[in-house]
Amino acid sequence: MSLRTIAGASLALLLTLSLAACQTTTPGSMQGAVEVRSGVIEQITDVQISNTKTRGLGAVVGGALGLGVGSLIGGGTGRDVAMVLGTIGGAVTGNAVQRRNQEPIPGHDIIVRLTNGVLVSVTQEPTNLRVGQKVFIQGSGEDARVTPAK
């Protein structure tokens, strides 16, 4: 098996894995049965939500792309050097791009008093909700979302 074949297969595998890692669930797109609780908003606080779910992915994808591009350059020892430099350059560039895109995003910490009296806190992206509004909490854990009751 040639170095070019190995590089191509590695690139295809890394791209497939990186695309699978990027898959996310957006609010309202949860599948199957979801727990729903009702209550009234007691407090809304502005917060910053960290965006670090795919840390390191930029370097991996950039390195794989650099490896692929480097494998297309020259032949023999020159190709090997181009592959190494492409991998390093791609990893550094990919990491820088990802770091720039991982800035914290604005959000709300919403405290809801459920109908049974229990307080629940949900952190999510900003919405048009207000204190005193009747709401539903859909889901649980990191997938929980506060939505207006209609």
Q: What are phi and psi of 108, to 5 degrees?
A: -125, 140
In eight-state DSSP terms, residue 55 is T
pLDDT of residue 141: 84
Encode pLDDT of 26-83 as tens digits: 445 556 677 789 999 999 999 988 765 556 667 777 777 777 777 777 777 777 788 7
pLDDT of residue 119: 92
pLDDT of residue 48: 85
pLDDT band at 131 (very low <50, low <70, confident <90, very high): very high
Encode pLDDT of 68-121 as tens digits: 777 777 777 777 788 788 888 878 887 777 766 667 788 999 999 999 999 999
Domain boundaries, the chain: 34-61+102-149
Task: State how far the Cα of 137 lies from the Cα of 140, in Å rounded to an integer.
Answer: 8
Neighbouring CB atoms inside 10 A of 134's CB total 13
Q: Which one of 2.60.120, 2.40.50, 3.90.930, 2.40.10 gives the CATH number of domain 34-61+102-149?
A: 2.40.50
Encode pLDDT of 5-35 as tens digits: 655 555 555 555 555 555 544 445 556 677 7
Q: Using alpha carbons only, what angle is made at residue 110 by residues 105 and 113, rounded to the nearest 5 degrees? A: 165
pTM: 0.50
